[in-house]
A and B are shown apart, each in its own frame.
Chain A
Amino acid sequence: MTRKTRRLWLACACLMGLGSATALTLNAFSSNIVFFMAPSQIRAKPPAPDRTVRLGGMVVAGSVRRQTVRDTPVALFDVTDGQAAVTVRYEGILPDLFREGQSVVAIGTAGPDGAFHASEVLAKHDETYMPKEVAEALRRSGKWDPRYGKAPDAASWDTMTVRDARRDAASPQHGS
């Protein structure tokens, strides 16, 4: 085997490795990327039922309901960005830091019944800390602008979000 063919072999092997890595990545990007959506975005444009998304916002105070379906605990709660609220349905143990009136991220799919079926619910380790994506969604919804100081504390979010959620419930046709 000449030096040239050997070099060709090496180049081919490298191309194969990089090529398959690229192909796998592009393929996975088309199906496995998870987009972040705020409740108002989900209301305005529900994602396809098989599409996994991350839903983030504040848990509406007083909205957590618990049921037991065939020995499995189910938690239902509303998540809002101050413009619209989405009901989240989660089977499992809510994380230790899950609190009403605080920020939360739920990963799952939009169900046909209008509820969001979460397979995972994340509450951050630090309860004063707000996930970047939730803060951004709140800023976009016009409820809070980081240029005008820190995020309002959880208590004031409560009253605001409860009112908004009520308005939302009064007009069920809104968005969806």
Chain B
Amino acid sequence: MSPELGNFALALACCLAGAQAVLPLIGAQRRDPRLMAMAPALAVGQLLALLTSFACLVNAAIGDDFSVQNVAANSAVAKPLLYKITGVWGNHEGSILLWALILGVCGGAVALFGRNLPSALRARVIAVLGGVSAGFLLFCLTTSNPFDRVWPAPLDGQGMNPLLQDPGLAFHPPILYTGYVGFAVPFAFAIAALIEGRVDAAWGRWVRPWAVAAWCFLTCGIALGSWWSYYVLGWGGYWFWDPVENASLIPWLTGTALVHSAIVVEKREALKIWTVLLAIGTFSFSLSGTFLVRSGILNSVHAFANDPARGVFILGLLALVIGGSLLLFAIRAPALTAGGMFAPVSREGLLVLNNILLCSICAVVLTGTMYPPFMSLLFGKTISVGKPFFDATAAPLAIPLLAFMGFGPMMPWKRAQFWPVLRRLWWAGLLTAAAFALAAWRIRDILPLLAATFAVWVIAGSAADIAERIRLFRLPLGQSLHRARLLPRAALGAALAHAGVGVSVLGLAAMSQAAHKIVEVRVGQTEMLAGDAWTLTDVHSAPGPNYTSLIATIEVRHDGRLVTVLHPSKRTFASQNQTTTEVAIHTNLLSDLYGVLGDRHGTDADPTYVLRLHYNPLAPWMWLGGLVMAMGGALSLSDRRMRVGAPRRARLAGLVAAR
């Protein structure tokens, strides 16, 4: 019964979304308050219907209802409860439903938190969200319905790929999807602004919190995905420049640019048309990201649905959304009043530079990702573009970005000079020079060396920015702390997020110095790697719930002192005839010791084991940096001024103006 209820709720949500797309738009056009007032009600109704539908699917998965084809194909009685729940979105149909649900949540959030928006703008924003939602729900209902029944119902399901049964992967899709889908709200704001023909400072202030929130989730999602591939795939790598990874990086880059250009709109009423275009572009890239993953246009290990019919539907949907919004942009953008011009040396000037560099990196990544499929489509040549290409193109563009990031937040608005700003950064400069000397001693390659140096510059610059604002060491400490409390949280958040970028880049640069060794050893044999002695002391097999594992014991000693004992293992799943590798990682936050157990060779009397040993300096910093970035975003979201329509207190406003 409950799958039918879910299916009905899904269809109901689709109808509500359709109404939500049309009625408020007509209402806003005719200035009919009754039609406009339907927008929030419809959005909340759609959200409730989607929640019901999703709950029904989760219920079917928990209750092992194998008459539902989706559950039969992806679940099994023996699967742990956690993976029964998370397995709901671990497949194509469920992930599309989750996508639609998150879009519904976005619509509901605009309806609930957007009370201070002008009613016409709010109606249009919700209508655009409804339109996108209707498209996706139609896709879900017609080509990939998660509630399809199967007859006769099998006694047990087919189970889930063992590789996907992992807590990191379980929570990765919802977070990443929230990031992707969250950019639908800035997109809806952009379309609404184009329909209205008006973009002003207030629009910038309304759109920014939504963009920042989506950006935080996307940052977390990317970091989590990278971490997952690091500890599950067992290759010691963290980013493979796989098309699917690039599909998440591209909207992240344009989304970062959007978060920054919206500040210029808010403060200076400039870059308006550009910001609208960025908002459209970011969501378009997010949508294309899903499309690239779902239709096997890009051959990738992640593609779990290679179905051309779905591809055609999604392609049509994409053409409609992206093409339609770009057409609207082309028609309406000239009607928007051009913003003011500004001096090249100023905060807004540097923000423009940030946008140019981020978009250049984005263009490079996009080219590298799309070139191989186009070449094979047009000329039948099979080529691929890998890490060397992206290293050679993205890194040289990222380094100037870091250099400007270090002092950008300290530049005054309107008109500024480099010298006074740089003079206040003298100690950050000294620290950077010291970091350069230290790094030059350990790192021989030029790009990681520069990256590490400028990463320190960014962290020091962010610290200097806050220290300068609270006049640390120039006023008594108590007064400084008082100033810190009055400091707008947006400023603190920005500094934290910038420092997070620095931390990540430091991790990336240090990882270029990672050492690894592949050895074939007997039990008791010792290998040296990066100053540590790794000894294989034992290998034994042990049974697991639905697999047997071969567990190795590796003792790592430094100068005779035991550092850690690693237990990498290899699991053999008899039912699926599949082997997975369980990596053992020991971290002390400054470096990771990473051990992988490979094949067993030799005779039974004298077995030898292949081991892969990695020494990864600063590896955890790459993901910690991502977390710090997201925390910075969240902190700036908690700023009063970021909350939509929150009235500015006069005293605070005065302080801000005085700064």
List A residues at the B interface (Cβ < 8 Å): 1, 3, 6-7, 9-10, 13-14, 16-18, 20-21, 24-25, 27-29, 31-36, 52, 54, 66, 68, 71-73, 91-94, 96-97, 107, 124-125, 131-133, 136
Contacts and interface: CB of A to CB of B under 8 A. Distances in A.
A25 to B, nearest CB: 6
Contact of B301 (A1, A20, A124): A124
B487 interface: no
Contacts of B359: 17
A39 B383 CA distance: 15
Contacts of A132: 299
Majority DSSP secondary structure for residues of B touching A: mixed
A21 B364 contact: yes
Interface string B340-373: 0111100000001100110111011001100100
Contact of B353 (A13, A24, A68, A93): A13
Interface of B: 161, 163, 299, 301, 341-344, 352-353, 356-357, 359-361, 363-364, 367-368, 371, 381-386, 388-389, 392-393, 396-397, 517-521, 527, 578-581, 596, 598-599, 601, 608, 610, 612
A71 B612 contact: no
A25 B384 contact: no
Contacts of B363: 18, 21
Contacts of B517: 72
Contact of B344 (A10, A31, A107): A10
B381 A35 contact: yes
B381 A24 contact: no
User: Which 8 A-B residue pairs are closest in the complex by CB-CB distance?
Assistant: A93-B598, A36-B382, A17-B356, A21-B360, A73-B520, A32-B389, A9-B344, A28-B392
- Among A16, A29, A33, A125, chain B packs the most CB atoms within 10 A around the CB of A33
Given A29-B371, A91-B518, 4 more contacts: A13-B344, A13-B356, A20-B396, A28-B392
Contacts of A6: 341-344
A91 B578 CA distance: 23
Nearest to A21: B360
Nearest to B611: A93
23 contacts: A6-B342, A10-B341, A13-B344, A14-B356, A21-B393, A24-B393, A24-B397, A25-B364, A25-B367, A28-B388, A28-B393, A35-B382, A36-B382, A68-B608, A71-B520, A71-B527, A73-B599, A91-B518, A92-B518, A93-B610, A96-B578, A96-B579, A96-B581
Residue from B342, B360, B596, B599 whose CB has the most chain A CB atoms within 10 Å: B360
A13 B349 CA distance: 10
B341 A68 contact: no
A6 B349 CA distance: 10
A24 B396 contact: yes
A73 B386 contact: no
Contacts of B368: 25
A73 B363 CA distance: 41
B318 to A, nearest CB: 22
A9 B356 CA distance: 13
A29 B388 CA distance: 10
A160 B454 CA distance: 57
Contacts of A20: 360, 396-397
A73 B383 contact: no
A1 B343 contact: yes
B384 A94 contact: no
Contacts of A92: 518, 612
A3 B341 contact: yes
A28 B389 contact: yes
A118 to B, nearest CB: 13
A71 B521 contact: yes
B519 A71 contact: yes
Contacts of A71: 519-521, 527
Nearest to A17: B356
B352 A33 contact: no
Contacts of A28: 388-389, 392-393
A24 B341 CA distance: 30
Contacts of A1: 343
A71 B361 CA distance: 42
B409 to A, nearest CB: 19
A21 B397 contact: yes
A125 to B, nearest CB: 5
Given A91-B518, A96-B580, A131-B299, A36 B392 contact: no
Given A17-B360, A21-B364, A72 B386 contact: no
Contacts of A94: 598-599
| Interface-central residue, A29, A34, A73, by most chain B CB under 10 Å | A73
A125 B389 contact: no
B157 to A, nearest CB: 18
A58 B598 CA distance: 22
A52 B598 CA distance: 26
A18 B360 contact: yes
A66 B382 CA distance: 31
A121 to B, nearest CB: 11
Contacts of A33: 383-385, 389
A10 to B, nearest CB: 7
Contacts of A32: 385-386, 388-389, 392
B519 to A, nearest CB: 5
A32 B383 CA distance: 11
Contacts of B579: 96-97
Among A52, A71, A107, chain B packs the most CB atoms within 10 A around the CB of: A71
A20 B384 CA distance: 22
A72 B520 contact: yes
Given A96-B579, A125-B301, A72 B344 contact: no
B352 A13 contact: yes
Contacts of A9: 344
A10 B596 CA distance: 52
Contacts of B381: 35
Contacts of B578: 96-97
A149 B610 CA distance: 40
A69 to B, nearest CB: 9
B356 A34 contact: no
Contacts of B612: 92-93
A115 B163 CA distance: 33
A78 B163 CA distance: 28
A29 B381 CA distance: 14
A17 B357 contact: yes
A6 B356 CA distance: 16
A24 B364 contact: yes
A136 to B, nearest CB: 7
B392 A72 contact: no
A125 B360 contact: no
A34 B610 contact: no
A73 B601 contact: yes
Nearest to B597: A93
Nearest to B381: A35
Contacts of A52: 388
